[in-house]
Amino acid sequence: MTDTTQSSRARVQRENGFSHGLLTRSLLELVGTFFVVMVLLSASSWDRISDSSLILPVLAAFVAYAAAAYLTAPVTGGHLNPAVSLTAALSGRLKWLDFLAYCVAQTLGGILAAFTMKPLFNFMVSTYNLKAGAQSKLETKTMWELAANRYAEVQTRLGGTMEAAIIVELVATLLITAVAVSALKRNGLPRRNYAVATGLAYAAGTVMTSMITNSALNPARATGSAILAKIDGDGEALTELWIFWIVPLLAAAVVGLIVVLAENMKLSDDSSASSDKAQASDAKASDEKDAKASDSSVPEDAQQVSDSEDSRDIADFNKVMRQDTEEVSPEQAAASQAAEMAESTNIDYSESHGEDAEESE
């Protein structure tokens, strides 16, 4: 049984880099998002009551996301946010089926966290100070009005518009998804600094959005608080929920496409460099081959000349040897002797005849 489980995990890891099945990873994403949303809702509500400025929500965002990512990232990639999962899917770090499962699990985790906080919020004071210590200026609000993500003046400290909410959420989510995808490997597994990097990104995003939208930055977090606000009598948060889904997913799509383009350009540059290197290597090898052939041609020509001279010497030697070794026939010998005698006789005759002529004169 153990061997079968190990082989199954090995097969899954070969497919997408993860060592666990989709169901296990989805459940872990649900648990991680549940923890994050509970911390964020608690910090948001206490911040509204105590007027603790930005310290509490920023610190809560960093601790919640960093801790949850540290626990879940080795198994799931530690997304904890549908926007991060979309970026991972677009950049090839997560399969699309996994993205859908992650998205559902994260949203359910946010909703379960909100329902878990509901009985706790019922025991909390339903009024808050618009300014610390100003007891004369109290307004009655439910805790879900304080914790939900909205941009209307009744919800935020300074009040805001839809345009302002879209801008701050878009910029903050661009930062978060860019940091998250850069801290993920191509196989979807996290790098060593993933938890700290994403925690810092969420903390920075909280600084940008806390005064305008109560720092959604995560559709799962916004969905849970909006549903409970609706149940508790505040329906405005649910009507504004679309902003906290469309804007983060739009930011995720932009980052994902940029990552794809950048990686394709890098691959193109690498392939071009490899092609140039291969051509240079081939040219060098061809030059070396030509030089080697040129060097070897001179000895070959010299060898051919030497062989030709040796052949001629051998032929002359053979000719002489044939002449020396040829046998003379008796007839040829007799003819040669007669010719020699006749020549000698002619010489003697001419000499004697010459002497007689001289004497007569």
> CATH number of the domain that 201 lies in?
1.20.1080.10
- Residues 177 and 65 grouped into a single domain: yes
Last residue of a domain, one of 233, 254, 271: 271
Dihedral angle, C-alpha 272, 273, 277, 283, nearest 10 °: 40
248 located within any domain: yes
Last residue of a domain, one of 235, 253, 271: 271
Handedness of CA 318, 323, 324, 329 (dihedral sign): positive
Give residue-wise pLDDT tens across range 292-338: 666 555 455 545 545 555 566 565 655 555 555 445 456 665 666 66
Give residue-wise pLDDT tens across range 45-104: 765 656 556 788 899 999 999 999 999 999 999 999 999 999 999 999 999 999 999 999
Average pLDDT, the chain: 76
197 located within any domain: yes
pTM of the model: 0.69
50 located within any domain: yes
- Residues 163 and 241 grouped into a single domain: yes
323 located within any domain: no
Q: How far is CA 272 from the centre of its chain?
A: 16
How many domains does the chain fold into?
A: 2
Give residue-wise pLDDT tens across range 159-214: 568 888 899 999 999 999 999 999 999 888 999 999 999 999 999 999 999 888 88
- Residues 128 and 219 grouped into a single domain: yes
φ/ψ of 356, rounded to 5, equals: -60, -40
Residue 105 burial (C-beta neighbours within 10 Å; 0-12, 13-18, 19+)? buried
Question: Quick one: tokens of 361?
Answer: 């004169």
Tell me what pLDDT residue 137 has.
40
- Residues 12 and 83 grouped into a single domain: yes
Question: Quick one: tokens of 322?
Answer: 């044939």
- Residues 257 and 345 grouped into a single domain: no
Tell me what pLDDT residue 190 has.
92
Q: Using an 8 Å Cβ cutoff, are 177 and 201 in contact?
A: no
297 located within any domain: no
Lowest mean pLDDT of 102-111, 276-285, 322-331, name the range: 322-331
Half-sphere exposure of 291 (CA within 13 A, CB side): 6
If DSSP codes are grouped into helix, strand and coil, which group holds residue 140? Answer: strand
Q: What is the DSSP letter of 192?
A: T
- Residues 112 and 16 grouped into a single domain: yes
Last residue of a domain, one of 251, 271, 291: 271
Tell me what pLDDT residue 55 has.
83
CA distance 43 to 56: 6
**Could you tell me what percent of the chain has a pLDDT over 70?**
57
136 located within any domain: yes
CA distance 80 to 40: 13
For residue 344, the enclosing domain spans 332-361
Question: Quick one: tokens of 85?
Answer: 């999962």
